[in-house]
Chains A and B, each alone.
Chain A
């Protein structure tokens, strides 16, 4: 290579030019696992060795990105039967919710007018409940391992940490493998798969596959978006560094480091609030109107400066006497990102789909956070409010499946902030609770693709009903889409009744709606405990599964908050409504036999699986909750197999 070309292309180009590719047409990039040049003398073996730094593994589903979207995708794919790998580029799971970032897991956290949540169920709720049981101390580092535990428990699912997916290896238009680099082991890992899901936020795998994507803000005319700018531009919401302070019990001065950037309070918009500053200030943020990923390190340095500058202002301006005893205890080092690439699917979700609550026949998830668009440039634009908060929702909106798979890469799905949507739509759907629902949807879809040997688009074309029924059975909620599973024998029971009823009706438990919503009651609540719920069939049925959805009060948040709130909208403990112990019996030849007995239940979706019986009746005995006097159920399902 000529010298001039070297300086143009850099070292990577030079290496690429001299390397033989892995296979013809596979990748032009260097073989990262090749260590032929090593001069390693292994004293233990008494000879020279070449490090083995290449592995190839094959899965049904490859999920890249171990934030909540990716975790939910991987668990869903694995649980439904696909051999799955979850690849995460950090040492911990959780993405923005991890101890490295400590962002709260918001979703539909508050709907107007009463600011109550419409909490997400499904895998996300399992994770949050798991945290309540095993992390009562509400430690963020322990939350990392709550997630680790949950993922590791899942059969069919392998977890790979400290590993970034660098490149998609293609076979024609399809992704054949994800080429990854594991930083802790120097290994190049190839994960071959049938279906790939990119939940990594920035979406490097998807980008290198050639999937269409865009960045920036759409012009208002493109999607008729009231809150979009008149002209398109490159602005993307920025990343933030958070902090946490602790009370030292005595005056603790602070001297700003030299890299601190002075906070110009006098220029700042009054909505730059310092409420609860000791738990982090979300508007310490830097956006970009160009290549926000390439600018990440530069912006991180600036964010450190701004953070320490703001803290200096708090400690030393005299305006916060309550800060006298406070000292920094934790400062985020890896900025929490909000926006970068948005991949293009068969449908681009936009503002009016949200604000006008458009109904989608292929709805698979929902959102409801406000249109929380942050000001362009973040803290480098002090004149504007830090967020425009264009609109708050009074009810949830639907997210279609067509926004979750690539328009041009046939075996690629995505979930999280990188889905097919406009910048304005992202301003609402980017919260982790909503991303988690998308993750569960794509993971479930990916499994269906594997089972049926089809691509994601075919799930929309031919199997969307099955995808939705699958999700509903797994306790995901889809607005305006009651469950109607023809295999569910509970719907065919002649009678369903409770031993007592305080509210609702036992018949609601087979109406396909697993929560109270839109001012409609869809539950049955006992009057006291213990209580029984009984189903009877005229003709005997064969059963091996009974699924129950019990109450965990979806109008009260259970995610971990630094403030650890316990009021009518938040709880910092296990929800008292959750059923703790219950028993299932089936009537076989006139006698009740126990087919399931659970003493320390920890889930809203309770599944009993037993040897198949031929029965004319099922009886649940609900014995105890975690505090509530009554038991409330939303659904019961019975299956032959």
Chain B
């Protein structure tokens, strides 16, 4: 660690006596803000979180972050510990690792990391699905290739089998420790801190932007910050058409976090305009616990004609039943389904209409439908 940073850190640490963050402006453009964050790293402790200083480097509009930690918390007490700095971008994604001059990461038997090892370490740390996230630390043993995995049926298992691509050979503890720093709640903390540096306008620009990871970030934060003004809601709706599945879920989650009116308006708009999120909308309407005003029944029923499959129609009728949509306009829309070739749809419509108040003509029509399709009842 260079001397300048040591001074910064000391001043920050003094600042912590008075709160969980401290700010130091260094030079004209770079602002360093330190945040205390509690992180659960099972390499250190299985259940108690460790406090770590998350340093935010703010340069104009952009943010970067880092933490200074020990390279390894070792189960065998045989590892060499060196200080390392882990860098994150403003969305909490791992950027890289730095070992200060004079120090090197080491593997077993004192062998130093080579360039290829650092490259592999980067890959390991970026793999969010790594088995390192699931394995118990007291079972961390590398593959013993001299055994060739041989074991007899009468015996114990072979040594624990970590896939070789999940660690740097000879440095499984280092990989385990650092992976758990990188893939921890630090990411969400960073995202929340970054969001606090952005205006709502900036978040909306992200929402409308080209980069999916920023669109997802924006949606997440708009939900967290509960931004449900008309302009924001409109932009969220617009985002649905070009969205991938992760965004779609967030769009639905956004509206589910809103009050009833915004929610139902949003669902209706999405159903009318975006086939992509249709299934998610229908499922949301069926499962959400919100009170719905009756004036939504008719517009919902008018969507029936745009639904193509039995599944979609069945869910829509379930929704109308859930919200007790029982009026002539709704019944008229459903009645049209009796004419469909698909008997499943027609029969489903019959059951919807069976106990509803219908016109005389409709009652006759319903009866005729039943009598013509007795074998399906």
Residue ranges of A at the interface with B (Cβ–Cβ < 8 Å) = 96, 103-104, 106, 110, 114-115, 240, 242, 271, 273, 275-276, 279-283, 285, 336, 338, 369, 372, 374, 386-387, 389, 430-432, 494-495, 497, 499-500, 530, 534, 536, 538-540, 561-570, 589-591, 616
Contacts and interface: CB of A to CB of B under 8 A. Distances in A.
Nearest to A571: B134
A500 B284 CA distance: 11
14 contacts: A103-B153, A242-B154, A275-B158, A338-B154, A374-B152, A431-B153, A494-B344, A495-B311, A536-B310, A567-B134, A567-B135, A567-B161, A568-B131, A591-B351
B287 interface: yes
Contact of A96 (B151, B154, B156): B154
A539 B139 contact: no
A96 B163 CA distance: 30
A103 B154 contact: yes
B377 interface: yes
B131 A540 contact: no
B270 to A, nearest CB: 16
Contacts of A374: 152
B153 A369 contact: yes
B319 to A, nearest CB: 13
Contacts of B163: 114, 568
B144 interface: yes
B135 A566 contact: yes
Interface string B86-109: 000000000000000000000000
A182 to B, nearest CB: 29
Contact of A273 (B147, B154, B377): B147
Interface residues of B, number: 40
B289 interface: no
Nearest to A282: B155
B131 A275 contact: no
Interface in B332-377: 343-344, 347, 350-351, 354, 375-377
A301 to B, nearest CB: 19
A563 B135 CA distance: 13
A499 B310 contact: no
A103 B344 contact: no
B344 A495 contact: yes
A497 B343 CA distance: 17
B152 A540 contact: no
A387 B150 contact: yes
B31 interface: no
B159 interface: yes
A568 B147 CA distance: 20
A587 to B, nearest CB: 8
B25 interface: no
B74 interface: no
Contacts of A282: 151-156
B350 A590 contact: yes
Nearest to A590: B351
Contacts of A369: 153
Nearest to B162: A567
A534 B283 CA distance: 14
A105 to B, nearest CB: 9
Contacts of B351: 589-591
A566 B159 contact: no
Nearest to B133: A568
Given A106-B153, A275-B159, A282-B151, 20 more contacts: A110-B149, A115-B149, A275-B144, A275-B147, A276-B156, A276-B157, A279-B155, A282-B153, A282-B155, A338-B154, A372-B152, A386-B152, A389-B148, A389-B150, A500-B283, A534-B314, A536-B310, A538-B376, A566-B134, A567-B134
Contacts of A115: 149, 161
B160 interface: yes
A280 B376 contact: no
A104 B287 contact: no
A540 B377 contact: yes
Shortest 5 CB-CB distances between A and B: which pairs? A590-B351, A282-B155, A282-B152, A279-B156, A431-B153
A570 B141 CA distance: 14
A576 to B, nearest CB: 10
A423 B133 CA distance: 43
A276 B159 contact: yes
A138 to B, nearest CB: 13
Interface string B307-341: 00011001100000000000000000000000000
B234 interface: no
Contact of B157 (A372, A431, A563): A563
Nearest to A101: B154
Nearest to A576: B134
A544 B233 CA distance: 49
Nearest to B280: A500
B59 interface: no
Contacts of B311: 495, 497, 534
Nearest to B148: A389
B344 A538 contact: yes
A455 B332 CA distance: 66
Given A96-B154, A103-B154, A369-B153, A499 B283 contact: yes
A563 B155 contact: no
A275 B157 CA distance: 10
A240 B347 contact: no
Nearest to B311: A497
Contacts of A103: 153-155
Given A110-B149, A282-B154, A430-B153, A536 B160 contact: no
Contacts of B136: 565-567
A608 B134 CA distance: 34
B188 interface: no
Contacts of B149: 110, 115
A69 B150 CA distance: 25
B154, B159, B161, B315 interface centre (most CB from chain A within 10 Å) = B154
A112 to B, nearest CB: 9
B279 interface: yes
B285 to A, nearest CB: 12
Contacts of B151: 282
Nearest to A562: B156
A563 B151 CA distance: 14
Contacts of A386: 152
Nearest to A432: B153
Nearest to B157: A561
A106 B158 CA distance: 12
Contacts of A497: 311
Nearest to B139: A565
Q: Which of B134, B152, B153, B159 has the most CB of A within 10 A?
A: B153
A114 B376 CA distance: 51
A538 B343 contact: yes
Interface string B265-299: 00000000000000110010001000000000000
Contacts of B377: 540, 589, 616
Among B135, B144, B160, find the residue whose CB has the most chain A CB atoms closer than 10 A: B160
